Structures are given as C-alpha cells and as structure tokens.
Structure 1
Amino acid sequence: MADDQAQLIQDNCPHRIPRNKLRHVICLLFIAFILILLLIGLGVYFGYYFGSHHTLKILSLNVWGLPYAFGSLDKEERILKIAEMLHKDPEFDVVFFEELWMPADHATIELELEGVYIMTSFESMNPCMHLTAPLKCSGLAVLSKYPFHEVEFHPYNSSGHSSEEFVDGEDLVNKGVGRVRLVLPGNVTADLFLTHTVADAPPGKNYTNDDIRLDQVSELVRNGVQRSTRGCCHSRGRL
C-alpha cells in the first residue's frame, strides 16, 4: 500500500525539481543577482569618474609680437598664419599666448577664430594703453573651447631692473600671471594659469635677471597656484 501511495505521488508531480538541483538553481540566481549589482555599481562609479575627470590638451605659444620697430620681423603675417592654422586644425582645448603685445594682433586672432575658440579680451590681461608700443602690457592671452567663468591678471612686483630698462626693456612692460577659470562638461570648473617671466639679459652685459625670475616664480606659486580653490591647476608659459 505504501509503495502504491509513493508511486501515486510521483505520478501526480511529474515535473518536481529534486531538492539538490533546486538549491543549485537558487545559488546560481543569487550569484547572478550579485553580479548584476556589481555591474551597476561599477557603471555608476565609472560614470561619475569619467564625468568629473577631464583631460585638456594645451598649447603654449610665444608669438614674438613686438612691433617691427622693435625688431620683430613679419609679425602680421605670422600672427595671421597662427590663427589660420588653429582654425584649420583646432586640436587644442586651450591655447596660451605670450608676447601678444598689440591690440590689432589680438583682434586678428579673435576674428579669425570666432566660432572655434573663445578668447580673453585684450583689456582683461593687459592693463595698458593702446599704443604702438607694448608699454606696461603683459602680452598674455587665452583661447579656450570652454566658457570662461573668471578671468584675472596680476602683475609681478618686479618686471626687471629699472637701471637697465632701456637695455633689455623688461621694466617697461608689465609681466605677470593670468588666471582663467573654465567651466568644463558636467559643471566642473578648473583654474589654469599662464605667465611670462623676465627674459635673460642681452649677451655680453654684466648683469643677470635670474634673481628677478626666481622672485616671479615664487610669487606665482605663493599668490596664484597655492590660493586656487579649484582641484585642477596648470601653469604654462615661459619660466
């Protein structure tokens, strides 16, 4: 009788899963669930990481923009060619210019690259009069594919030896450090610094500008980079 009942139960449940096999299936489902959670977590992490970390391709270029009367040859042609090359192949996210002394040359680059780059205004980096000479100008400018949130310029306390200002001209200009705060994708902001320090003394002269250059670099680090409130700081320019 007992055998008949057991046979009857088995006949009524032909698709019953053995207990060992059921445990195996549950275990596999649990592992799959854990893997799905892990993949979701990794997706969130890497989405945040790549969404908040950016790589900028930066070019720093001294354009040798002194007027012809001061010894700079083919300035207008070179400035236009620089703008045309950047327009043809805008591979850089940010471009720093040094020795872009004259407003007309600044305007040439800005006009040629309109719609490709955003450019700092001449006045924002050059607290000087619009003359035919770079008197008290910094020569700094920035091109960016990203919007500027802040733009500022701080002149160095010393640009050169006043006793030699008509020898090397360094004390006649207004070298310093510029800072731009960019707004990157994901509402991330970054501070970028550019500078142009004092040049070497002309060959054969019995003095050096090394001491002033060291003071300028110290001033850059102390009053610029260290005080930045952003997590991304880059300094470019002639040091």
Structure 2
Amino acid sequence: MANGTTQPPSSLRILSLNCWGLKYLAKYRNERLTEIGNQIAAANPPPDIVGLQECWTQQDYNAIRERTKHFLPYGKFYHSGIFGGGLVILSRWPIEESSMVPYPLNGRPAAFYRGDWFVGKGVACARIRMGPNRQDIVEVFCTHLHAPYETEPHDSYICHRTAQAWEIAKLMKGAAERGHLVIGLGDFNMVPKSLAHRIIETHSPVRDVWRMLYPKSSVGAAKDKVEKLRALPIPTAEFNLTTNGATCDSALNTWRWNKAHKKRLGKGENVVIEPSVQDPNAKRLDYIFFSSGSHHRTTTAEATAEWTLESANVGMTMRHPTLHCSLSDHFSVEATLIRTSPDPDSAPSNGQLSLPETYLPIETYDEILATISKYAAREKMQRKLRMGHFFYQLAITIGCHVAVWWSPRNFVDFILMFLSSLGLSVGVLEGLMGGLFVSSELRALKEFKWEVTNARTRAIASQPKMDGESSGT
C-alpha cells in the first residue's frame, strides 16, 4: 500500500453517501452495500476521501473495505451510542488522528421508535496527512444530523439540529485555525439556506461546494412553499440532479416510487423512469463543505486561495445489477478540489491562524434563543410529567400491596401484584428519563444558550466597527 506522504496531491476527489444500512429494517441491505463498495471501486475518477453515513454494521463496513482497500487503504468505522452512529471515513492517505465527538443535544430516549438518541449521533473526525508539510493535512468531519419528523417550524427536534450544526461549525473552525484544509461532509438533514446551513457557513469558514457552483439552485423541493414563491416550473429529475444537486426523494430513486412501480420492481422487472419526468419532491440533504488549508478568509474567492473547487456532482445513481433497485434511498454528493498553491513556503510554519469573525444577523440569534427557550420550557414540563408519573405509579403500587391484605382470592392477588409491578417498572423508566435524561438535556441547553448569547454579544459589539469600515470604503 502506498502511503502517499512523500508527494502531495494536486487534486482531491471527495465522495459522501448515506448508505441506508439499517440493520433488520433496510431491504436488501447486504446486497446493496456490497454493490456500493463495487461502485466506489469502479468510480472514475476514483475518490481519495469517502464519508459514509448509515453504514451501521461492521459486516457492511468490511464488505466495502474489501472492495476499496486497493486504492483507499486507510479506513475507520466509528463507534458511538448503543447501536453505533453508522459513520465511516475511508482515505487514500494515513489517518493520523481520529475521534468520535458526540452531540450534546441528540434526540430523546423516549422516542425509541426513531432511534436518534440510541445511535449516539455525533461527528466522526479524522486528521489525514497527504504529504510531508503542515499544509498537507486535511481534517475531515463526517456527520449525520438529527432527522426532521415534522415540517419546520413545527419540528420538535429543530433545536437539536440547530445545536448540532453549531457544534460541527465549531469543530471545523478549529481545524481552519490550525491552518489545515477542512472538509465537512454527510447527511445534514437540512435544506440550503436553512438556519442550520447558515450557522455552518457563518460560524466556520467553510462553504457549501454546490452553492459555490450553482448559487441559484433550489433551496427545497419544488412542492415546498419557499420554491413555489419563486414561480418556477417544476423541475425535471435530470435538472434536479445536475443543477439543484438533489440527493434525496428523487423520482429516479426506486425507494421513493409509488406502490405500483415498487410492485413491478419486486417481480424482477427493470422499471425505467425517464430523466425528463417532473420531480416535485426531490431536495438536497447531503453536503460537502470545504475551506482551504492555509488561506482561510470570509469571501468565496479568498476562501479557495490554496485549494479551488473544480467540480461537484450528484453520483451513485446507478441501480443494483440484478435487483434493479437504487443502491440507497439517497444519492451521493461528490466534488473535486484542485491545488493551486502547493508551495510549502506559502503557509505559516506553525501557530494558529486568526480568522476574521463573521456573524449572523442579530435577529437570527434571537430566533435561536427563542427556539432554545421554547424547547427548554417543553422539557421542563416533560420532567414534571415524568416525575409525576413515577410518584403516581409508586402510590398505585403501594395501594395494590395494601389491597392484597384484604383480597378474597389468590387470582386477585396475582392481578394486583402483576399490574403494580408493571406500572412501577414504567414509572421507574419515566422517572429515570425525567430525573436524569431531561436534567442532562436542560444543562446542555444552558451551555448552548450561553454560546449563542455570547456570539450575539460579540455580533452587537462588532457592528459599529463593521459600519465604520463600510462607510470608509
């Protein structure tokens, strides 16, 4: 295996894909993820860095590694939570350091049917050395943000996703201050220009590669209100892939088809959907963000002083050769970066870089703080209800034990003891969630609130200076 550390690369090919590898739940999981490995290996040009999400099992990871290790010899399967976070990073070059950073706000254990809390979502971090010099280091951050289960602003998890965007932005900013090339990728479960998207691009120097190339691309599905206001015709599936960068809910993805098409597919028929079909549901949830290694600035032109974005595309749209289904319920997002300043003397030799501070509008910080306050109030009520449920069940259990003394029949004793034991078990779980989990979440909310308030204060303090600079130009 070539270590790749003697000759720095002049280009960098990146691929990110949500594999939809849910154990026991995702149909044809083994077959699909094996074929994903085959298609990554057959890609032209081949990727240098790959980030995978929802690759939940070591078996599927090993299957992909076996097919790609000849050109991606380094890899890391990240462990987190109870069931694992499903995150994987593959690399052409050595992974010098690695860590799994859990998100402080990360779903609720009571929502066991959704599973976000149980998988321990977070950021898979890898420091990869592509060459002998400090500016040849790339820091990769692969993540999968909390899924939305209701339409914003009614999504009860919007506070979680906002906090998670804030956390990964901090990690990427820290990497940029170390003078390294920064790459953030994954399924962010957000649409372009949403609050989470704006946080990432404001509180870190990274930029969304797709909007760098296609600044007028859609910011949601054609059926969404924000797109309807643009009064544009409903895009075709091909346009969504090539211009809007849609990676999810595409009309070309078999897992989003109607029952009739799925039934035909299940019978072995290779159903063909024309790329010219209207595609009102497709949207972009998968992203690659990047910021150049040693020349981090606030504008797009300056942010790419050392590495420039050459291309970006939606990939992995092919189907399984025998099952004829899509390889995942998402398509991949891919990008190619070109190095334009490989001179080792062009970067500082040591120390931290001082990045220009950028801020969201003050009203946006107020919006985040209002979201935090609303969610904190919800959780305080949940804590009261859950603790109340515990004490209620405890009282019922004591009552049932007392009632046994006057019970006329043995079967009545059994029913009373069974129901009291069952009720107390549920009450103890509720008490644990209310007394331990909710209290922990409220403390995490306090930390998040402090950080947002602090950023808001700095933003207000910077306004006179910014206004003065604007008037001076």
The interval holding the TM-score normalised by the smaller chain is 0.5 to 0.7
Return the letter of the residue paired with 1:148. I
For residue 108 of structure 1, what is the amino acid of its counterpart? A
Sort the Cα spacing of 1:212 and 1:119 in 2 relative to 1 into closer, same or farther, 3 A: same
Partner of 2:137: 189
Distance 2:145 2:101 in 1: 13
Match of 1:62 in 2: 18
The answer to whether residue 29 in structure 2 is matched with residue 75 in structure 1 is: yes
- Kept in 1: contact 2:80–2:119 (CA 8 A): no
Q: Is the 8 A contact 1:98 1:139 kept in 2?
A: yes
1:160 to 1:115, Cα distance in 2 relative to 1, 3 A: same
Aligned runs of 1:46-57 on 2, under 5 Å?
54-57=10-13
Taking the aligned partners of 2:108 and 2:96, their CA distance within structure 1 comes to: 35
Equivalent residue letter for 1:81: E
In 1: Cα distance, 2:184 partner to 2:124 partner: 9
CA gap 1:200/1:119 in 2 versus in 1, 3 angstroms: farther
1:108 maps to which of 63, 67, 88: 63
Q: Could you report, residue by residue, the CA deviation over 1:84-133 in whole angstroms, capped at 9, with x for unpaired residues?
A: 112223611111000111111111111222222124333xx2135xxxxx
Deviations 1:153-205 (A, max 9, x none): 10111221333x223221111110111111113542111111111011168xx
Q: TM-score, normalised by structure 1?
A: 0.67
Whether 1:178 and 2:127 are equivalent positions in the alignment is no
Task: Give per-residue Cα distances to partners, 1:8-38, cap 9 Å, x unaligned.
Answer: xxxxxxxxxxxxxxxxxxxxxxxxxxxxxxx
**Contact 1:156/1:177, CA 8 A, preserved across alignment:** yes
Matching of residue 220 in structure 1 with residue 168 in structure 2: yes
Mapped to 1, the partners of 2:113 and 2:131 lie a distance apart of 47
Deviation of 1:144 (Å): 1.0
Contact 2:76 2:90 in 1 (8 A): no
In structure 2, distance between residues paired with 1:200 and 1:217: 14
Match of 2:42 in 1: 88
Q: How does 1:2-21 map to 2 (within 5 A)?
A: none
Once the 2 structures are TM-superposed, how far is the Cα of residue 54 of structure 1 from its aligned partner? 4.3
Ranges in structure 1 where 5+ consecutive residues have no aligned partner? 1-50, 129-134
Within 2, Cα distance between the matches of 1:104 and 1:64? 14
Report the AA paired with residue 104 of structure 2.
N
User: Given that residues 101 and 138 in structure 1 are in contact (C-alpha distance below 8 angstroms), is that contact kept between their aligned partners in structure 2?
Assistant: yes
Larger C-alpha radius of gyration, 1 or 2? 1
Distance 2:130 2:71 in 1: 16
Tell me the equivalent position of 1:11: none
Change (3 A) 1:84 1:198: same
TM-score, structure 2 length as denominator?
Answer: 0.35
Residue 142 of structure 1, CA deviation: 0.8
**Which letter maps to 1:152?**
S
Deviation at 1:143, TM superposition (A): 1.1
Q: Distance in 2 between matches of 1:142 and 1:197?
A: 16
Q: 1:207 offset after TM fit, Å?
A: 4.9
Within the alignment, does 1:155 sit opposite 2:102 as a pair?
A: yes
Call closer, same or farther: CA 1:95–1:221 in 2, change over 3 Å: same
Equivalent in 181, 184, 187 of residue 235 of structure 1: 184
Change in CA separation of 1:53 and 1:92 when aligned onto 2, cut-off 3 Å? closer
CA RMSD of aligned residues (A): 2.2
> Contact 1:168 / 1:202 at 8 angstroms: preserved in 2?
no
Q: Which whole-Å deviations, capped at 9, do the CAs of 1:30-81 have from their partners, x for residues lacking one?
A: xxxxxxxxxxxxxxxxxxxxx878432111000001012xx21100000110
Mark the CA change 1:155 to 1:54 in structure 2 (over 3 Å): closer, same or farther.
Answer: farther
Distance 2:174 2:131 in 1: 24
Alignment correspondent of 1:12:
none
Match of 1:143 among 64, 87, 90: 90
- The aligned residue for residue 43 of structure 1 is none
2:125 matches 1:199: no
Q: In structure 1, how many angstroms separate the alpha carbons of the residues matched to 2:69 and 2:142? A: 22
Cα distance in 2 for partners of 1:199, 1:166 equals: 14
In structure 1, what is the Cα distance between the partners aligned to 2:8 and 2:70?
26
Mapped to 1, the partners of 2:32 and 2:68 lie a distance apart of: 15
Distance 2:26 2:64 in 1: 18
Quote the Cα distance in structure 1 between the aligned partners of 2:15 and 2:43: 13
Counting aligned pairs with the same residue, the percent is: 26
Could you say what secondary structure the match of 2:183 adopts? strand
CA contact (8 A) 2:74 2:94 kept: no
Residue in 2 aligned with 1:29?
none
CA distance in structure 1 between the partners assigned to 2:9 and 2:76 by the alignment: 28
